[in-house]
A = this chain, B = another copy of it.
Amino acid sequence: MNEQTPAALKPGGEQGYLRIATEEAFAPPEMMPLYRDVLDGPDPDPGFKSLMGFYIRSQSPRARFIFERLQDLGALRLADMDARGIDKQVIALTSPGTQVLPTDKAVALAVLANDQLGEACRRHPDRFAGMAACAPQDPEGAAREIERAVSKYGMRAVIINSHTNGEYLDHPKFSPILEAAQALDVPIYIHPNTPPRSMIGPMLEKGLDGAIFGFGVETGMHALRLITSGTLDRFPKLRVILGHMGEALPFWMYRLDFMHKAGVGAARYECMKPTQKRPSDYLRENFYITNSGVAWEPAIKFTQEVIGVERVLYAMDYPYQCPPEEVVALDAMRMPLEHKKKFFQTNAERVFKL
Protein backbone atom coordinates (compact mmCIF):
# COMPACT_ATOMS: atom_id res chain seq x y z
CA MET A 1 0.00 0.00 0.00
CA ASN A 2 1.13 3.46 -0.87
CA GLU A 3 0.36 5.35 2.32
CA GLN A 4 -0.22 8.62 0.50
CA THR A 5 -2.83 7.31 -1.87
CA PRO A 6 -5.78 6.98 0.47
CA ALA A 7 -5.22 10.56 1.63
CA ALA A 8 -6.52 11.60 -1.78
CA LEU A 9 -9.87 10.00 -1.11
CA LYS A 10 -12.71 12.33 -0.29
CA PRO A 11 -16.44 12.54 -0.89
CA GLY A 12 -17.92 14.98 -3.37
CA GLY A 13 -17.71 13.34 -6.74
CA GLU A 14 -14.50 14.91 -8.06
CA GLN A 15 -13.65 11.63 -9.77
CA GLY A 16 -16.79 11.88 -11.90
CA TYR A 17 -19.16 9.91 -9.68
CA LEU A 18 -20.37 9.79 -6.13
CA ARG A 19 -19.48 6.70 -4.11
CA ILE A 20 -22.57 5.12 -2.58
CA ALA A 21 -21.82 2.10 -0.41
CA THR A 22 -24.82 -0.19 -0.25
CA GLU A 23 -24.19 -2.96 2.29
CA GLU A 24 -23.06 -1.16 5.40
CA ALA A 25 -23.82 -2.46 8.87
CA PHE A 26 -24.86 -1.10 12.24
CA ALA A 27 -26.00 -2.55 15.56
CA PRO A 28 -28.04 -0.82 18.26
CA PRO A 29 -26.11 -0.92 21.54
CA GLU A 30 -29.23 -2.46 23.09
CA MET A 31 -28.76 -5.53 20.86
CA MET A 32 -25.56 -6.66 22.56
CA PRO A 33 -27.11 -7.71 25.89
CA LEU A 34 -29.76 -9.65 23.96
CA TYR A 35 -26.99 -11.47 22.09
CA ARG A 36 -25.14 -12.17 25.33
CA ASP A 37 -28.33 -13.76 26.69
CA VAL A 38 -28.51 -16.06 23.67
CA LEU A 39 -24.83 -16.94 23.93
CA ASP A 40 -25.19 -17.71 27.64
CA GLY A 41 -28.41 -19.66 27.12
CA PRO A 42 -28.81 -23.39 26.56
CA ASP A 43 -27.34 -24.78 23.34
CA PRO A 44 -26.95 -21.58 21.29
CA ASP A 45 -26.92 -21.92 17.52
CA PRO A 46 -23.37 -23.02 16.68
CA GLY A 47 -22.95 -20.54 13.84
CA PHE A 48 -24.16 -17.66 15.98
CA LYS A 49 -21.84 -18.71 18.78
CA SER A 50 -18.93 -18.81 16.36
CA LEU A 51 -19.77 -15.43 14.80
CA MET A 52 -21.10 -13.16 17.51
CA GLY A 53 -19.26 -14.95 20.27
CA PHE A 54 -16.15 -13.78 18.47
CA TYR A 55 -17.17 -10.19 17.74
CA ILE A 56 -18.61 -9.57 21.20
CA ARG A 57 -15.97 -11.30 23.30
CA SER A 58 -12.71 -11.25 21.36
CA GLN A 59 -10.16 -8.65 22.43
CA SER A 60 -8.41 -8.82 19.06
CA PRO A 61 -7.92 -5.44 17.36
CA ARG A 62 -10.17 -6.59 14.50
CA ALA A 63 -13.07 -7.48 16.79
CA ARG A 64 -12.74 -4.28 18.87
CA PHE A 65 -12.53 -2.10 15.74
CA ILE A 66 -15.72 -3.62 14.38
CA PHE A 67 -17.61 -3.78 17.67
CA GLU A 68 -17.11 -0.05 18.29
CA ARG A 69 -18.04 1.05 14.78
CA LEU A 70 -21.12 -1.14 14.45
CA GLN A 71 -22.73 0.81 17.27
CA ASP A 72 -22.02 4.28 15.89
CA LEU A 73 -24.39 6.22 13.63
CA GLY A 74 -22.68 9.58 14.08
CA ALA A 75 -19.28 11.20 14.15
CA LEU A 76 -17.12 8.08 14.02
CA ARG A 77 -18.95 6.63 11.04
CA LEU A 78 -18.99 9.96 9.20
CA ALA A 79 -15.26 10.41 9.77
CA ASP A 80 -14.60 6.91 8.44
CA MET A 81 -16.73 7.68 5.39
CA ASP A 82 -14.87 10.93 4.80
CA ALA A 83 -11.50 9.19 5.07
CA ARG A 84 -12.59 6.61 2.53
CA GLY A 85 -14.31 8.95 0.12
CA ILE A 86 -17.77 7.51 0.71
CA ASP A 87 -20.56 9.94 -0.07
CA LYS A 88 -23.42 7.86 1.23
CA GLN A 89 -23.97 4.62 3.09
CA VAL A 90 -27.05 2.45 2.72
CA ILE A 91 -27.16 0.97 6.21
CA ALA A 92 -28.76 -2.18 7.61
CA LEU A 93 -29.00 -4.02 10.90
CA THR A 94 -26.00 -6.32 11.09
CA SER A 95 -26.32 -10.09 10.73
CA PRO A 96 -28.04 -12.04 12.21
CA GLY A 97 -30.01 -9.04 13.50
CA THR A 98 -33.32 -10.06 15.00
CA GLN A 99 -33.25 -13.51 13.50
CA VAL A 100 -31.56 -15.40 16.30
CA LEU A 101 -33.79 -14.01 19.08
CA PRO A 102 -37.03 -15.25 20.63
CA THR A 103 -39.98 -13.79 18.73
CA ASP A 104 -40.99 -11.14 21.29
CA LYS A 105 -37.47 -9.79 21.59
CA ALA A 106 -36.97 -9.97 17.83
CA VAL A 107 -40.12 -7.91 17.20
CA ALA A 108 -39.04 -5.28 19.72
CA LEU A 109 -35.51 -5.12 18.34
CA ALA A 110 -36.76 -4.52 14.80
CA VAL A 111 -38.75 -1.50 15.98
CA LEU A 112 -35.86 -0.16 18.03
CA ALA A 113 -33.38 -0.67 15.17
CA ASN A 114 -35.64 1.04 12.66
CA ASP A 115 -36.20 3.98 14.99
CA GLN A 116 -32.47 4.41 15.66
CA LEU A 117 -31.49 4.09 12.03
CA GLY A 118 -34.44 6.18 10.84
CA GLU A 119 -33.53 9.03 13.16
CA ALA A 120 -29.88 8.88 12.06
CA CYS A 121 -30.99 9.10 8.43
CA ARG A 122 -33.09 12.15 9.30
CA ARG A 123 -30.07 13.78 10.94
CA HIS A 124 -27.80 13.03 7.98
CA PRO A 125 -30.04 12.71 4.93
CA ASP A 126 -27.17 13.36 2.54
CA ARG A 127 -24.92 10.71 4.06
CA PHE A 128 -27.16 7.89 5.31
CA ALA A 129 -30.01 5.86 3.86
CA GLY A 130 -31.52 2.89 5.64
CA MET A 131 -32.94 -0.57 5.15
CA ALA A 132 -35.89 -1.72 7.25
CA ALA A 133 -35.33 -4.47 9.78
CA CYS A 134 -38.07 -6.91 10.67
CA ALA A 135 -38.63 -10.07 12.69
CA PRO A 136 -39.42 -12.89 10.25
CA GLN A 137 -40.38 -15.04 13.24
CA ASP A 138 -43.68 -13.08 13.12
CA PRO A 139 -44.32 -12.72 9.38
CA GLU A 140 -47.49 -10.63 9.62
CA GLY A 141 -45.91 -8.35 12.17
CA ALA A 142 -42.80 -8.15 10.01
CA ALA A 143 -44.87 -6.93 7.07
CA ARG A 144 -46.44 -4.25 9.28
CA GLU A 145 -43.05 -3.14 10.59
CA ILE A 146 -41.65 -2.90 7.06
CA GLU A 147 -44.60 -0.71 6.08
CA ARG A 148 -44.07 1.47 9.14
CA ALA A 149 -40.34 1.86 8.52
CA VAL A 150 -40.82 2.68 4.86
CA SER A 151 -43.64 5.17 5.42
CA LYS A 152 -42.23 6.83 8.55
CA TYR A 153 -38.52 6.90 7.73
CA GLY A 154 -38.38 6.35 4.00
CA MET A 155 -36.42 3.12 4.35
CA ARG A 156 -35.13 2.04 0.95
CA ALA A 157 -35.05 -1.74 1.26
CA VAL A 158 -35.66 -4.64 3.65
CA ILE A 159 -32.74 -6.42 5.26
CA ILE A 160 -33.12 -10.18 5.74
CA ASN A 161 -30.09 -11.75 7.37
CA SER A 162 -30.66 -15.02 5.55
CA HIS A 163 -32.12 -17.99 7.42
CA THR A 164 -34.36 -17.65 10.46
CA ASN A 165 -33.87 -20.70 12.67
CA GLY A 166 -33.03 -22.72 9.58
CA GLU A 167 -36.00 -21.53 7.55
CA TYR A 168 -35.82 -19.59 4.27
CA LEU A 169 -37.94 -17.00 2.51
CA ASP A 170 -39.30 -19.61 0.10
CA HIS A 171 -41.36 -21.03 2.98
CA PRO A 172 -44.98 -20.00 2.41
CA LYS A 173 -45.18 -18.70 5.98
CA PHE A 174 -42.95 -15.78 4.97
CA SER A 175 -45.21 -14.67 2.13
CA PRO A 176 -46.43 -11.57 3.99
CA ILE A 177 -42.88 -10.23 3.98
CA LEU A 178 -42.47 -10.79 0.25
CA GLU A 179 -45.90 -9.32 -0.40
CA ALA A 180 -45.05 -6.19 1.56
CA ALA A 181 -41.72 -5.70 -0.21
CA GLN A 182 -43.28 -6.20 -3.62
CA ALA A 183 -46.23 -3.94 -2.86
CA LEU A 184 -44.01 -1.15 -1.47
CA ASP A 185 -41.52 -1.73 -4.33
CA VAL A 186 -38.57 -1.96 -1.97
CA PRO A 187 -35.90 -4.60 -2.68
CA ILE A 188 -35.02 -7.31 -0.18
CA TYR A 189 -31.33 -7.44 0.61
CA ILE A 190 -30.45 -11.01 1.62
CA HIS A 191 -27.37 -10.65 3.76
CA PRO A 192 -25.37 -13.73 4.80
CA ASN A 193 -25.79 -15.55 8.04
CA THR A 194 -23.75 -18.49 9.28
CA PRO A 195 -25.17 -21.77 8.00
CA PRO A 196 -27.85 -23.35 10.17
CA ARG A 197 -27.21 -26.32 12.41
CA SER A 198 -28.24 -28.75 9.66
CA MET A 199 -25.54 -27.43 7.30
CA ILE A 200 -22.66 -26.03 9.30
CA GLY A 201 -20.94 -29.27 10.43
CA PRO A 202 -17.79 -29.65 8.31
CA MET A 203 -17.42 -25.91 7.83
CA LEU A 204 -17.46 -25.10 11.55
CA GLU A 205 -15.06 -27.97 12.17
CA LYS A 206 -12.36 -26.12 10.20
CA GLY A 207 -13.24 -22.47 10.80
CA LEU A 208 -14.92 -22.03 7.42
CA ASP A 209 -18.41 -21.19 8.69
CA GLY A 210 -18.16 -17.39 8.47
CA ALA A 211 -17.38 -14.81 5.82
CA ILE A 212 -14.51 -16.85 4.41
CA PHE A 213 -16.88 -19.48 2.98
CA GLY A 214 -20.01 -20.46 4.93
CA PHE A 215 -21.70 -17.08 4.49
CA GLY A 216 -21.53 -17.37 0.75
CA VAL A 217 -22.82 -20.89 0.36
CA GLU A 218 -25.64 -20.36 2.84
CA THR A 219 -26.83 -17.19 1.18
CA GLY A 220 -26.26 -18.36 -2.39
CA MET A 221 -28.41 -21.34 -1.50
CA HIS A 222 -31.08 -19.05 -0.04
CA ALA A 223 -31.29 -17.09 -3.29
CA LEU A 224 -31.30 -20.28 -5.34
CA ARG A 225 -34.17 -21.65 -3.25
CA LEU A 226 -36.21 -18.54 -4.10
CA ILE A 227 -35.63 -19.35 -7.77
CA THR A 228 -36.06 -23.12 -7.91
CA SER A 229 -39.00 -23.25 -5.48
CA GLY A 230 -41.02 -21.01 -7.78
CA THR A 231 -41.19 -18.23 -5.19
CA LEU A 232 -40.16 -15.64 -7.77
CA ASP A 233 -42.92 -16.87 -10.06
CA ARG A 234 -45.32 -16.14 -7.21
CA PHE A 235 -43.71 -12.71 -6.69
CA PRO A 236 -42.51 -11.78 -10.17
CA LYS A 237 -41.87 -8.12 -9.36
CA LEU A 238 -39.84 -8.85 -6.25
CA ARG A 239 -36.36 -7.35 -6.39
CA VAL A 240 -33.62 -9.14 -4.47
CA ILE A 241 -30.12 -7.85 -3.72
CA LEU A 242 -27.19 -10.14 -3.00
CA GLY A 243 -23.82 -8.97 -1.74
CA HIS A 244 -20.38 -10.54 -2.06
CA MET A 245 -20.49 -10.64 -5.83
CA GLY A 246 -23.82 -12.45 -5.81
CA GLU A 247 -22.49 -15.13 -3.45
CA ALA A 248 -20.90 -16.68 -6.57
CA LEU A 249 -24.23 -17.43 -8.28
CA PRO A 250 -23.20 -15.42 -11.37
CA PHE A 251 -20.18 -17.70 -11.73
CA TRP A 252 -22.38 -20.80 -11.36
CA MET A 253 -25.01 -19.62 -13.87
CA TYR A 254 -24.27 -22.03 -16.70
CA ARG A 255 -24.27 -25.05 -14.41
CA LEU A 256 -27.42 -23.86 -12.61
CA ASP A 257 -29.27 -23.67 -15.91
CA PHE A 258 -28.01 -27.02 -17.19
CA MET A 259 -28.62 -29.00 -14.02
CA HIS A 260 -31.92 -27.31 -13.24
CA LYS A 261 -33.22 -28.26 -16.67
CA ALA A 262 -31.84 -31.80 -16.31
CA GLY A 263 -33.30 -32.31 -12.83
CA VAL A 264 -36.70 -30.85 -13.68
CA GLY A 265 -36.79 -32.76 -16.97
CA ALA A 266 -36.16 -36.04 -15.17
CA ALA A 267 -38.66 -35.15 -12.41
CA ARG A 268 -35.91 -36.02 -9.95
CA TYR A 269 -37.39 -34.09 -7.02
CA GLU A 270 -40.98 -33.78 -5.99
CA CYS A 271 -40.10 -30.34 -4.58
CA MET A 272 -38.59 -29.03 -7.82
CA LYS A 273 -41.27 -28.20 -10.35
CA PRO A 274 -40.72 -26.42 -13.66
CA THR A 275 -40.27 -22.68 -13.31
CA GLN A 276 -41.33 -20.05 -15.80
CA LYS A 277 -37.74 -19.11 -16.63
CA ARG A 278 -34.21 -20.43 -16.38
CA PRO A 279 -32.32 -19.72 -13.13
CA SER A 280 -30.05 -17.29 -15.01
CA ASP A 281 -33.10 -15.36 -16.22
CA TYR A 282 -34.17 -14.69 -12.64
CA LEU A 283 -30.64 -13.62 -11.78
CA ARG A 284 -30.70 -11.14 -14.65
CA GLU A 285 -34.25 -9.90 -14.10
CA ASN A 286 -35.01 -10.03 -10.35
CA PHE A 287 -31.56 -9.66 -8.77
CA TYR A 288 -29.02 -6.95 -8.14
CA ILE A 289 -25.49 -7.79 -7.10
CA THR A 290 -23.15 -5.78 -4.88
CA ASN A 291 -19.42 -6.29 -4.55
CA SER A 292 -19.30 -6.14 -0.75
CA GLY A 293 -16.12 -7.86 0.41
CA VAL A 294 -14.85 -8.27 -3.14
CA ALA A 295 -12.84 -5.22 -4.18
CA TRP A 296 -11.56 -7.10 -7.18
CA GLU A 297 -11.80 -5.93 -10.76
CA PRO A 298 -11.92 -9.37 -12.46
CA ALA A 299 -14.96 -10.55 -10.49
CA ILE A 300 -16.75 -7.22 -10.86
CA LYS A 301 -16.23 -7.10 -14.62
CA PHE A 302 -17.21 -10.76 -14.99
CA THR A 303 -20.47 -10.06 -13.17
CA GLN A 304 -21.14 -6.94 -15.20
CA GLU A 305 -20.63 -9.05 -18.32
CA VAL A 306 -22.94 -11.92 -17.39
CA ILE A 307 -25.59 -10.15 -15.25
CA GLY A 308 -25.52 -6.67 -16.74
CA VAL A 309 -23.80 -3.35 -16.04
CA GLU A 310 -27.10 -1.97 -14.74
CA ARG A 311 -27.27 -4.57 -11.97
CA VAL A 312 -23.87 -4.49 -10.29
CA LEU A 313 -23.54 -2.04 -7.39
CA TYR A 314 -20.77 -0.89 -5.11
CA ALA A 315 -20.69 -1.87 -1.43
CA MET A 316 -17.92 -1.56 1.12
CA ASP A 317 -19.10 -3.89 3.93
CA TYR A 318 -18.32 -1.33 6.62
CA PRO A 319 -17.14 -1.84 9.31
CA TYR A 320 -16.23 -5.48 8.65
CA GLN A 321 -14.06 -4.74 5.63
CA CYS A 322 -13.12 -1.13 4.97
CA PRO A 323 -9.50 -0.57 3.96
CA PRO A 324 -9.25 2.70 2.01
CA GLU A 325 -6.93 0.93 -0.44
CA GLU A 326 -9.94 -1.03 -1.67
CA VAL A 327 -11.63 2.22 -2.75
CA VAL A 328 -8.44 3.25 -4.51
CA ALA A 329 -8.30 -0.09 -6.31
CA LEU A 330 -11.92 0.20 -7.42
CA ASP A 331 -11.45 3.78 -8.61
CA ALA A 332 -8.59 2.46 -10.75
CA MET A 333 -10.61 -0.28 -12.46
CA ARG A 334 -10.12 -0.32 -16.20
CA MET A 335 -13.65 0.27 -17.43
CA PRO A 336 -15.49 3.13 -19.10
CA LEU A 337 -16.28 6.01 -16.73
CA GLU A 338 -19.92 5.54 -17.67
CA HIS A 339 -19.82 1.97 -16.29
CA LYS A 340 -17.93 3.07 -13.20
CA LYS A 341 -20.54 5.73 -12.49
CA LYS A 342 -23.29 3.15 -12.74
CA PHE A 343 -21.36 0.87 -10.40
CA PHE A 344 -20.59 3.50 -7.76
CA GLN A 345 -23.58 5.79 -8.01
CA THR A 346 -26.45 5.67 -10.43
CA ASN A 347 -27.42 2.01 -10.10
CA ALA A 348 -27.74 2.54 -6.35
CA GLU A 349 -29.77 5.72 -6.88
CA ARG A 350 -32.15 3.80 -9.12
CA VAL A 351 -32.41 0.57 -7.11
CA PHE A 352 -32.85 2.29 -3.75
CA LYS A 353 -34.68 5.36 -5.14
CA LEU A 354 -32.20 7.67 -3.45
Contacts and interface: CB of A to CB of B under 8 A. Distances in A.
Interface of A: 54, 58, 60-63, 163, 166, 168, 170, 195-203, 205-208, 210-213, 216-217, 220-221, 224-225, 228-229, 244-245, 248, 251-256, 258-260, 262-263, 265-269, 271-272, 293-296, 298-299, 302, 305-306, 321
B203 A221 contact: yes
B213 A221 contact: yes
Nearest to A163: B202
A203 B75 CA distance: 43
Contact of A321 (B61, B168, B258): B258
B202 A198 contact: yes
A197 B201 CA distance: 9
Contact of A225 (B166, B206, B248, B260): B206
Contacts of A251: 245, 248, 251, 299, 302
A195 B221 CA distance: 13
Which 8 pairs of residues, A with B, have the shortest CB-CB distance? A198-B201, A207-B269, A60-B266, A254-B296, A212-B259, A207-B272, A251-B251, A217-B217
B221 A207 contact: no
Contacts of A211: 255, 259, 262
Contact of A201 (B199, B203, B212): B199
17 contacts: A54-B268, A62-B262, A63-B266, A163-B202, A168-B202, A206-B225, A206-B272, A208-B221, A210-B268, A211-B262, A212-B228, A251-B299, A255-B293, A258-B293, A258-B321, A259-B293, A302-B302
Contact of A213 (B203, B210, B256): B256
A196 B262 CA distance: 23
Given A298-B302, A298-B305, 8 more contacts: A62-B262, A62-B265, A196-B202, A199-B202, A206-B271, A216-B255, A217-B217, A251-B302
Contacts of A200: 198-199
Nearest to A299: B251
Contacts of A244: 255
Contact of A205 (B203, B207, B271): B271
A20 to B, nearest CB: 21
A104 B37 CA distance: 49
Contacts of A201: 166, 196-199
Given A60-B267, A228-B208, A202 B216 contact: no
Given A221-B202, A248-B248, A58 B266 contact: yes
